[in-house]
Chains A and B, each alone.
Chain A
Amino acid sequence: MELTEKTLDYNARTSLLKSLSWFDWLYALVLAGGSIYAFQLYGNYMDAYEKGILFLAAAGMIWQGWFWKPFRVLLLAVAILSLFGISQYHGQLARAEQTFFLKFFFGSQTAIMWMSALFVLATASYWFALLTRSGFTARVSSAITWSAVVMGLVGLMTRWYESYLISPDVGHIPISNLYEVFILFSILTAMMYLYYELRYQNRQLGAFVLLVISAAVGFLLWYTFDRQAHEIQPLVPALQSYWMKIHVPANFIGYGAFALAAMVGVAYLLASKGILTTRLPAPELLDDLMYKSIAIGFALFTIATILGAMWAAEAWGGYWSWDPKETWALIVWLNYAAWLHLRLVKGLRGPLLAWWAVIGLFVTVFAFLGVNMFLSGLHSYGTL
């Protein structure tokens, strides 16, 4: 006899909706109100897809905030600081260099420099915490990482606004070139790390994950100071599409997750060799985290690649042209598909998979940077 709820009339599960607090609802209200307000202000300039993206993004962020509570605070903080920053411009780009708050905090370039500095600081601080086993320092490191994420997001928001101040036809979402996506990468990787930090109640891995973020920041700084890459450039025709708004973030959640997995892999390998073993979480936790982030990375990377194909079909006339960037996306994808098969189907665990995750990051980095540097093709937007 199959048991049914009717025969037993009992439900012990608390559904998500019932568990929501007043703050959750306030948060949802602010987001819903905000998106409606934005729609009223700018709806005339959006096409149907962009309107869809606006509301779906709002819905997605409401869900994300309900699912991961600190996200609500993060989002509200970013919103308040960004709006404050934007209010300081009075519609003049030049004020970014003159007004106190913009010059020292929220002007896009300044905010991004803050983000960079804070990420590097957090890296050092996490390492200090790891080596001295200081719980307090570890908590401080988390706080620094959170502030770096806030500043990075505020920087992107004001950069978005600044691009429109340059000229309305230049304005665009700041995820269009290598410089901007590196910022996005740093922020997303940090956010995913912070999510797992809370989830596993474990701050030791920050030392590793923040290393890869610091490397990205290093690249960003070199790119800024040596190549003036931070200048806002208008969009070439191929990039003027709503597809960019979904394809790029999906891709970078994927890349960020793979980077996170690789750094956890490094920690795993060190711990398995007896280095820092007592300071790092148990191997099962590392293994689990590695799997989870590769899984989320794989899922999002799959979506991103499909979105990319759909975009390509609209921009170039073919959903798959075997252009080097596409091909390398496929290689990355196959690589992680093999990883997942080995772990899930063959039940493999241990250092081999950790090594594989680390090497996977190199393959990923090649797909994301190397292709632009060494191979030519249709995707020639972010040349070095």
Chain B
Amino acid sequence: MPFLNIVNHPNSSHRNPAQNLYELLSSMRFAISLLTVLAIASIIGTVLKQNEPYPNYIMQFGQFWFQTFEMLGLYDVYHSSWFLTILAFLILSTSLCIYRNTPLMLREMRSFREHATENSLRAFSHQAEYTTSLPADTLTHRLGKYLLGQGFRAKLGAPGESGDILIAAKSGSYHRIGYLLTHTAIVVICLGGLIDGNIPLKAQQLLGWKKIETRDIPEREVSAASRLSPANLSFRGGVTIPEGAGADVIFINIADGYLVQDLPFDIMLKKFRVEHYPTGQPKSFESDITLIDKATKESVSRTISVNHPLVYKGIAIYQASFGDGGTRLSMKGWNLFSPTDQPFDMKGAVKQDTKLSNGGATYTVEFTEFRKFNIENFAGEDGGTSAMDNLNKFFQTGSTKRAQKDLRNVGPSFQYKIRDAQGQAREYFNYMLPIQFEDRWYLLSGMRMAPNEPFRYIRFPLDRQSNIDGFMRLRAVLLDKQTHPEIARHFAEFALQGEKTDPALRAKLVDSTIRILDVFASGGYEAMAKLIEKSVPAAEQDKVAQTYLKILESSTLSAWRIAQSRIGQPVVMDEITQGFVRDSLNSVSDLFSYGAPVYLQLAEFDEVMASGLQLTRSPGKNIVYGGSALLVLGVFFMFYIRERRVWLLVQPRLGTVLFATSTNRKTMDFEQEFNRHKTHLIVLLKE
């Protein structure tokens, strides 16, 4: 690499500091170091999740590290000042490198090096010498023809003092353009990227002209200091618009807050559509939007979808996400605290709150989400279906069942939080339609205490009419202590049917049944398990548990008869009824940890979707694309155009021809080519 040697061996002792700095900045060592730092910084940015809400980071790292990381700008590495500084240095360094190398390269490209001396040629690693008896002009003609035929450009030197004639040839000079193209491309791409980065915004923030808004306030109230004018050169932000509504701003999320970007037009969302494949996966997301230009009043209506944005006056509008725009919900509320068999009607809308009072306590129901489709995996749901399994849950810890896949579309669902007066909230997730498990149908309701937990599901069994009402009636009877004696008597009668038993035994059975029912009604299986653990020796716990369960189940059958007889319905005693009763017991027990005063059963909905749009203006895009084109072109030039030079020194005086060749990329092809030329030359130099 002769030309590099020229620049890379400066005699630094004679240079002043400015020149040394220039040397350093334009050196490849420096560039490679910058690239390494850039790569490491990029890795940090992928490992540490970027642009999360700040509370998440505080939870993850604790206050001290949170602040340290914030100071280092690690939550938004790629827009941090230091990262941008490295980029700026990379641009500077690469530009200097180009500035420094280009003149040399161009000179190299043009030059045939026809002034090479015999001595310098003899110093080449790839050279050979031939003797020949051909006359000089035949030789130069033949050799020249040969070189041109091999794709070289050649120059014939004037005969020297000794009569020597040098043919200097070269090929693939454009290789050098490759360097120019790739490195210019890097500069261009980085510049384009910086234009689209938030440099001007950062500057304005630093100067205190713009302030990030961190409060959750209506958009109209956001102050001018946190707003960006439509003239803003480059931005990228989003807005969510419900169907039938519009917007003329977008929000740009920065650090722990946002800025409001005013748009030069209004966007109205007429309709948002999701289409699904038969398997339930989403097939398309589309928004019918209308833009109305604020200045010209021009209006444009279009449907946008993923991969098909609308570009209007340099602003591109993308389908980015979707959500609920306030779906209206009608529900049946089942009071769980004072069990009744009648529901009350309730109305609500997603993203709105509804107050609920139960006696003295008031609750807020916050409807958070509605989904029309749900693909759920129900295989491997925690817990078996048998009562013993359920009871066992409280004796042992965690079950380790392998998760399997059983994906089904189970229809609509909605989600809400119930917040008590103290502000404590639990979250619920209810399916609208019943779901089948092992030929029995259930309504499912999931509950969780914290957003990062999975939902735990309660299954309400359906009665023969496929309603939840039967379960609610049974539950009302079962939890009503006043009816326990009646249930117990009914059960005893049934259990001892046909036997002539002594009344004392019967009374004992009635008593213990009442006791079991009372305990169950006070806390489900958990209460029963506690009682058994406390009052029964360990060795007999299992047996007693079995007996209690049998009594509980059978007496619940009686309770079911009583519940049904109150509405004048007969009870068919069969597998179905038994299953229903067992399931009901499980649900009743589970409801003790449900923690809500009501179960809200979705009766009807009127879906209103919202479309999440992303809007960008990125003037740097075309610069980046242009740079990319240069980059690709340059890479191919560098890799696939090989620069080679050949010198043939004809020395008529000695009857010899000296052949020397060089390249700036020593590859095997070059060796092969060298050998090929050698054999060709032998033939050419013969008579």
Question: Could you tell me the distance between the alpha carbons of A376 and B284 in the complex, rounded to whole angstroms?
Answer: 22
A303 touches B47 (CB 8 A): no
Question: Could you tell me the distance between the alpha carbons of A309 and B624 in the complex, rounded to whole angstroms?
Answer: 10
Contact string, B9-47, partner A, CB cutoff 8 A, digits 1/0?
A: 000000000000000000010001001101100110111
A8 touches B145 (CB 8 A): yes
A237 touches B150 (CB 8 A): no
Question: Could you tell me the distance between the alpha carbons of A113 and B262 in the complex, rounded to whole angstroms?
Answer: 57
Q: Which B residues are CB-close (under 8 A) to A215?
A: none
Q: Output the least CB separation between A44 and chain B (Å).
A: 19
Question: Could you tell me the distance between the alpha carbons of A334 and B148 in the complex, rounded to whole angstroms?
Answer: 39
B236 touches A318 (CB 8 A): yes
Q: Output the least CB separation between B482 and chain A (Å).
A: 55
Question: Could you tell me the distance between the alpha carbons of A303 and B277 in the complex, rounded to whole angstroms?
Answer: 33
- Given contacts A10-B145, A234-B277, whether A319 and B635 have CB atoms under 8 Å apart is no
A12 touches B146 (CB 8 A): yes
Question: Could you tell me the distance between the alpha carbons of A139 and B608 in the complex, rounded to whole angstroms?
Answer: 66
- Given contacts A302-B635, A309-B628, whether A237 and B144 have CB atoms under 8 Å apart is no
Whether a CB of chain B sits under 8 angstroms from the CB of A68 is: no
Question: B45's contact among A298, A319, A322, by CB below 8 Å, is which?
Answer: A322
- Given contacts A8-B141, A237-B307, A347-B1, whether A13 and B667 have CB atoms under 8 Å apart is no
Give the interface centre of A237, A238, A284 by most chain B CB atoms within 10 Å: A237
B153 touches A2 (CB 8 A): yes
Whether a CB of chain A sits under 8 angstroms from the CB of B335 is: no
- Given contacts A314-B307, A317-B316, whether A341 and B28 have CB atoms under 8 Å apart is yes
Q: Which A residues are CB-close (under 8 A) to B316?
A: 317
A334 touches B35 (CB 8 A): yes
Contact string, B291-324, partner A, CB cutoff 8 A, digits 1/0?
A: 0000000000000011111000000101010000
Q: Output the least CB separation between A210 and chain B (Å).
A: 23
A288 touches B667 (CB 8 A): yes
Within 8 A of A (CB), among B623-658: 624-625, 628, 631-632, 635-636, 639
A236 touches B307 (CB 8 A): no
Smallest CB-CB separation from B192: which chain A residue?
A319
- Given contacts A306-B632, A313-B621, A335-B39, whether A237 and B285 have CB atoms under 8 Å apart is yes
Give the interface centre of B148, B279, B405, B618 by most chain A CB atoms within 10 Å: B148
Contact string, A307-349, partner B, CB cutoff 8 A, digits 1/0?
A: 0011001111111101010011011001101100100111100
Question: B148's contact among A1, A8, A243, by CB below 8 Å, is which?
Answer: A8
Q: Output the least CB separation between A204 and chain B (Å).
A: 16
CB < 8 Å A-B pair total: 152
B306 touches A322 (CB 8 A): no
- Given contacts A234-B281, A238-B307, A285-B668, whether A13 and B149 have CB atoms under 8 Å apart is yes
Whether a CB of chain A sits under 8 angstroms from the CB of B282 is: yes
Within 8 A of B (CB), among A1-18: 1-5, 8, 10-13
B141 touches A295 (CB 8 A): no
Smallest CB-CB separation from B42: which chain A residue?
A327
Whether a CB of chain B sits under 8 angstroms from the CB of A99 is: no
A302 touches B39 (CB 8 A): no
Question: A169's contact among B145, B283, B636, by CB below 8 Å, is which?
Answer: B283
Q: Output the least CB separation between B190 and chain A (Å).
A: 11
Whether a CB of chain B sits under 8 angstroms from the CB of A275 is: no
Q: Output the least CB separation between A212 and chain B (Å).
A: 23
Q: Which B residues are CB-close (under 8 A) to A317?
A: 236, 309, 316, 318, 320, 614-616
Smallest CB-CB separation from B4: which chain A residue?
A345
Whether a CB of chain A sits under 8 angstroms from the CB of B665 is: yes
Q: Output the least CB separation between A155 and chain B (Å).
A: 23
Q: Which A residues are CB-close (under 8 A) to B146?
A: 12
- Given contacts A240-B307, A318-B616, whether A291 and B667 have CB atoms under 8 Å apart is yes
Q: How large is the interface on B (under 10, 10 to 19, 20 to 34, 35 or more residues)?
A: 35 or more
Number of interface residues of A (CB under 8 A): 63
Question: B47's contact among A318, A346, A375, by CB below 8 Å, is which?
Answer: A375
Whether a CB of chain B sits under 8 angstroms from the CB of A299 is: yes
Question: Could you tell me the distance between the alpha carbons of A310 and B236 in the complex, rounded to whole angstroms?
Answer: 16
Whether a CB of chain B sits under 8 angstroms from the CB of A170 is: yes
A327 touches B307 (CB 8 A): no
Q: Which A residues are CB-close (under 8 A) to B147?
A: 3
Q: Output the least CB separation between A193 and chain B (Å).
A: 17
B668 touches A288 (CB 8 A): yes
Whether a CB of chain A sits under 8 angstroms from the CB of B74 is: no
Whether a CB of chain B sits under 8 angstroms from the CB of A134 is: no
Q: Which A residues are CB-close (under 8 A) to B144?
A: 3, 8
A306 touches B628 (CB 8 A): yes
B283 touches A319 (CB 8 A): no
Q: Output the least CB separation between B110 and chain A (Å).
A: 11
Whether a CB of chain B sits under 8 angstroms from the CB of A64 is: no
Smallest CB-CB separation from A284: which chain B residue?
B668
A237 touches B284 (CB 8 A): yes
Contact string, B346-357, partner A, CB cutoff 8 A, digits 1/0?
A: 000000000000
Smallest CB-CB separation from B141: which chain A residue?
A8
B624 touches A236 (CB 8 A): no
Contact string, B86-130, partner A, CB cutoff 8 A, digits 1/0?
A: 000000000000000000000000001000000000000000000
B306 touches A330 (CB 8 A): no
Q: Which B residues are CB-close (under 8 A) to A295?
A: 639
Q: Which B residues are CB-close (under 8 A) to A19?
A: none
A331 touches B35 (CB 8 A): no
Whether a CB of chain A sits under 8 angstroms from the CB of B156 is: yes
Question: A240's contact among B32, B141, B306, B320, by CB below 8 Å, is which?
Answer: B306
- Given contacts A8-B148, A12-B150, A299-B639, whether A1 and B307 have CB atoms under 8 Å apart is no
Question: Could you tell me the distance between the alpha carbons of A127 and B141 in the complex, rounded to whole angstroms?
Answer: 53
Whether a CB of chain B sits under 8 angstroms from the CB of A269 is: no
Within 8 A of A (CB), among B215-236: 236
Question: Could you tell me the distance between the alpha carbons of A377 and B632 in the complex, rounded to whole angstroms?
Answer: 27
Q: Output the least CB separation between A143 and chain B (Å).
A: 26
Whether a CB of chain A sits under 8 angstroms from the CB of B208 is: no
Question: Could you tell me the distance between the alpha carbons of A337 and B285 in the complex, rounded to whole angstroms?
Answer: 39
Q: Which A residues are CB-close (under 8 A) to B281?
A: 233-234, 236
Smallest CB-CB separation from A322: which chain B residue?
B78
Question: A302's contact among B50, B318, B616, B632, by CB below 8 Å, is which?
Answer: B632
Smallest CB-CB separation from B193: which chain A residue?
A320
Give the interface centre of B1, B46, B49 by most chain A CB atoms within 10 Å: B46
Smallest CB-CB separation from B148: which chain A residue?
A5
Other contacts beyond A3-B147, A341-B32: 16, CB < 8 A: A2-B112, A3-B153, A4-B148, A167-B278, A169-B277, A233-B279, A237-B285, A237-B305, A237-B306, A238-B306, A285-B668, A288-B668, A316-B614, A318-B618, A322-B78, A341-B28
- Can you report 23 residue pairs joining A to B where beta carbons are below 8 Å apart? A2-B154, A2-B156, A11-B148, A169-B283, A228-B405, A234-B277, A237-B282, A237-B306, A240-B307, A241-B307, A298-B639, A299-B636, A309-B628, A310-B625, A314-B309, A316-B320, A320-B624, A322-B42, A322-B45, A330-B39, A338-B32, A341-B28, A345-B4
Binding site for A on B (CB under 8 A): 1, 4, 28, 32, 35-36, 38-39, 42-43, 45-47, 49-50, 77-78, 112, 141, 144-151, 153-156, 167, 193, 236, 277-279, 281-285, 305-309, 316, 318, 320, 405, 614-616, 618, 621, 624-625, 628, 631-632, 635-636, 639, 665, 667-668, 671
Query: Which 4 A-B pairs rank lowest in CB-CB distance, beginning with the nearest?
Result: A12-B149, A237-B306, A317-B318, A324-B46
